[in-house]
Amino acid sequence: MKIGFLASGRGSNMQAVIDACRQGKINAVPVAVVSNNSGSGAMERAEKEGLARYHLSSVTHPDPADLDRAIVEALERHGTDLVLLAGYMKKLGPATLERFKGRILNIHPALLPKFGGPGMYGRRVHEAVLAAGEKESGVSIHIVDADYDTGPVIAQERVPVLPGDTPDSLAARVLEQEHRLLTATLGRIASGELPLP
Ligand code: GRF
């Protein structure tokens, strides 16, 4: 299984997956990273790891259809089987969605369908969880469709909200669980234990 990443930011989930592949915990090969942000942590990590890197954005491709095609081409060039959105902040275009239908996964730092959708990303998710007085939050991994955070959930793990939590303390606890659930889930997918629908 060849994994291609789309990442906009820090890239810690991407790194956890790369490490797990290198350690043989996921029977897969990380092949390429596409980022809309040329200075992102994800791009720096990709360079250190010797992965192919592509900065593809509305700056490099002002026409959305061109950008969509360029993303497909970059992923195809490396024989990508599975696309992982690891903190990718942009919506995918129809060509990418069609070419990798059912083979694009996203990780979200809450228990979907709660606290997902447009505008629910990063710190905002954890602020909303705390504002709602939730006793627990968690991590969701889902198959990506044309909307934000709406495709079928394939793995979920709960994380407690503790008294005195701030968005940052909750985010840190959730992030640890993200790395664990993501690597475990990809391990199960790669071994055939968790077939994608
Ligand atoms: C994670 O919280 C992930 O769930 C969300 O974006 C964040 C990305 O963090 N989709 P990182 O770039 O993997 O460190």
Q: Per-residue pLDDT tens for 185-197?
A: 999 999 999 999 8
- Residue 82 sits in which domain range? 1-101
Q: Cβ(85)–Cβ(3) under 8 Å?
A: no
Which of 101, 135, 166 represents a domain boundary (last residue)?
A: 101
Q: Which residues pair with 146 in a beta bridge?
A: none
CATH number where 134 lies: 3.40.50.170
Same domain as 25, residue 89: yes
pLDDT at residue 47 in the model: 97
Question: For ligand 1, is residue 173 a contact (CB within 6 Å)?
Answer: no
Give the residue from 2, 20, 180, 197 showing the smallest Cα distance to 84. 2
Whether 58 and 133 share a structural domain: no
**Which of residues 69, 101, 133 is at a domain's end?**
101
* Same-domain check for residues 55 and 92: yes
DSSP calls for 68-105: HHHHHHHHHHTT-SEEEESS--SPPPHHHHHHTTT-EE
Same domain, 96 and 124: no
Token couple for 152: 């079928």
Residues annotated as catalytic (active site), given as ranges = 108
Dihedrals phi, psi of 135, to nearest 5 degrees: -90, -15
Task: Give the Cβ contact number of residue 189 at 10 Å.
Answer: 24
Query: Which of 101, 122, 145 is where one domain is finished?
Result: 101
Residue 88 shares a structural domain with residue 127: no
pLDDT, tens digit, 9 for 90 and up, residues 98-134: 999 999 999 999 999 999 999 999 999 999 999 999 9
Q: Does 149 have pLDDT greater than 90?
A: no
Asked if 73 and 140 sit in the same domain, the reply is no
Residue located nearest, by CA, to atom 7 of ligand 1: 87
Q: Is the CB of 15 under 6 A from ligand 1?
A: no
Residue nearest to atom 5 of ligand 1 (CA): 87
Question: What's residue 36's pLDDT?
Answer: 98
Q: What is the pLDDT of residues 58-95, one digit of tens each?
A: 999 999 999 999 999 999 999 999 999 999 999 999 99
For 138, the 3-state DSSP assignment is strand
How sure is the predictor about 37, in pLDDT bands with cuts at 50, 70 and 90?
A: very high
Residue nearest to atom 2 of ligand 1 (CA): 109
- Residue 197: per-residue pLDDT: 81
If one counts the domains in the chain, the total is: 2
